[in-house]
Amino acid sequence: MNSEKRPELSAAQSSDTPSQSHSVTLEALLRLKRLEKPAPEFWTQFESQLRAKQLAAIVEKRPRWASFARNFSLLIRYQVPIGAVAAIAVAWAGFHGYRAMTLGHDGSAVAYIPLTAPAEEGAVAPLKDAGLSESDRSADVAREVSREVTGGGQQVSANAQPTAANVLPAAYTAPRGEFSQGRWSGYDKTPSERSIAANLAAAQAAEPGFAQNFLGLSQNFDARLVPDRPPVTEPLARMTPPSQERRSRLMSAVLPVAAVATEHPILSSDGFVGRLSDDRLYNSISRYKVAGGELSIKF
Amino acid sequence: MLEAIKVFGKALVASPERLREADQDWNIVRRVQGGDVAAFDELILKYRSRVYGVIYNMTSNREDAADLTQDAFIKAFQSIHRFQGQSSFFTWIYRIAINGTLTHLRKNRTRSFFSLERIQEDEPVSKELIAALTDKSVNSRESSIRELQEKLNEAMQKLSTNHRTVVTLFEIDGLSHQEIAEVMNCSVGTVRSRLHYAKQLLQAELQPYMSR
């Protein structure tokens, strides 16, 4: 290790007197670091910088959200009126939207008329076969209603009181061949609908034959594009009364036998049945008997 | 009870000079806590050189040491109302300074360059030491001193922060093992083991400059 000494150190040690020879130790080397000190001028600058930092530390730093909170605090005092205005605006917008949905173009209220009223121009009609005539439309309605009644053709009176079950709004029209008018006149057409209608009208005017072959009957175009909607009826109106059910049950049991048994024909005319009240008919039946292909009822 | 034992133990370990110094510092702190802000300047003047020296030897950078020393005193000033006197003000300010320096060294681990102070050769102690360490020739003395200083700082920087702190406080600043344990918040045994390991590393690094 001594051979690795630096020449300077070796020379210094060789020429030293015993009093000047010092062993270089680690502690001595580390003590050298004590001599690393700043100049006196350094402390003047140190004090000025320290004062500046002390003053900066006194000033409280605002968080980033403080500016937002400060601006928002100006609105806090007006929070009640602002909230009230916002609530009123939302309520008005909702009411206005609902009103636009329920009113027509001109703001007039929707008129409801019975479903079975005589067909008139622009009157109520189910959304099917818009190309049919007015009389056909009425007959369809009548047939529709009659099919729902069992037990012998009780027909709905044409002058039946309109109820919620069998009426539709007057705006629920099916204009004949007028696609541009749309299904629900209470709504405004969308721009796309208007453009399509205009293009269709132009095509029909330019090439009526082509339009008829390509698009089919113009009167039925609505029907093809728009599926028919069944007339709205109340569920209760579709149900048969219990008395009718009992009558039909009894008659169905009796009538086939009466058709076979010619000796004792049972009067099954509608008139006779109609004159009998269902209670009387049911109460008068005291005994059933079915034997040998015969049904006997004792009244 | 435990706190009383600690205080009694410190009194046994601490020298009378240290105890006298602690009492003086506590009186000044009470004045500052009472509202005499200007009294804090007395503490700054008293401890700024020592605190700067410790931080400089840990960082080997003058500018960083100045900034960290100022930050340590500002933190102490802001927290002076929480100082209860359980330890001496000297230990307390040292702890603040060293913790701040360790945080700084952790953040700037990749950036490390020397900015060394000049070795004061005017003092009598330094003349003998420099003469022992360097060539007697005047022409090459300055370069020898500079080279030695750089090698010494390089060796110190190769130590970990904890080992460097222990070496700085014990060998350079002259604190006792107990005082170092209080400042670093560890046991005396830990201080001794770190000091021994650090000296071994420095011995290996600075072997060419030492004699047997």
Residue A162: pLDDT band by 50, 70, 90 thresholds?
A: very low
Average pLDDT over residues A150-163: 46
Model confidence at A134, in pLDDT bands (50, 70, 90)? low
pLDDT at residue A80, as a whole number: 81
- pLDDT exceeds cutoff 80 at A3: no
B62, B123, B203: residue with CB nearest A26: B203
Nearest chain A residue to B136 by CA: give it.
A12
CA angle, A92 as apex, A86 and A98 as ends, to 5°? 140
In chain A, % of residues over pLDDT 90: 7
Mean pLDDT (chain B, rounded): 85
Pair of tokens at residue B117? 């102070």
Indicate whether A117 pLDDT > 50: no
The pLDDT value recorded for residue B114 is 76
Confidence of residue B57 (pLDDT cuts 50, 70, 90): very high
The verdict on a CB contact (< 8 Å) between B119 and A9 is: no
Question: A4 and B207 in contact by Cβ < 8 A?
Answer: yes
Of residues A203 and B113, more confidently modeled: A203
CA-based nearest residue to A8, from B150, B146, B119, B133: B133
Residue A10 pLDDT > 90: no
Categorize the per-residue pLDDT at A182 as very low, low, confident or very high, splitting at 50, 70 and 90.
Answer: very low
Mean pLDDT along residues A185-206: 79
Identify the band that residue B70 occupies on the pLDDT scale cut at 50, 70 and 90.
very high
Q: Taking a contact as any Cβ pair under 8 Å apart, which residues of chain A between 23 and 42 contact chain B?
A: 23-39, 42
ipTM above 0.85, yes or no: no
* pLDDT-derived band at B139, boundaries 50, 70, 90: low
The predicted structure's pLDDT at residue A123: 46
According to the per-residue pLDDT averaged within each range, which of A16-20, A104-108, A168-172, B92-96 is highest? B92-96
CA gap B137, B123 in Å, rounded: 19
Looking at per-residue pLDDT, the higher value among A228 and B19 belongs to B19
* CA A238 vs CA A156, A158, A233: distances in Å: 12, 17, 7
pLDDT score recorded for residue A72: 74
What per-residue confidence (pLDDT) applies to A153? Answer: 44
Q: Do B117 and A38 touch (CB under 8 A)?
A: yes
Average pLDDT over residues A229-248: 76
Our CA-based measurement puts residue B7 at a distance from the nearest CA of chain A, in whole angstroms, of 31
Contact A28 B132 (CB under 8 A): yes
Of the candidates A5, A28, A27, A4, the one whose C-alpha atom is nearest the C-alpha of residue B199 is A27
Residue B52 near chain A (CB below 8 Å) = yes
Structure confidence by residue, pLDDT tens digits, A282-292: 666 666 666 76
Nearest CA in chain A to B118: A36
Q: Which residues of A touch B45 (CB under 8 A)?
A: none
Highest mean pLDDT among A99-113, A252-266, B103-117: B103-117
The pLDDT-based confidence of B182 (bands split at 50, 70, 90) is very high
Determine the pLDDT at residue A32: 81
Q: Are B39 and B31 in contact (CB under 8 A)?
A: yes
- The reported pLDDT for the residue numbered B54 is 94
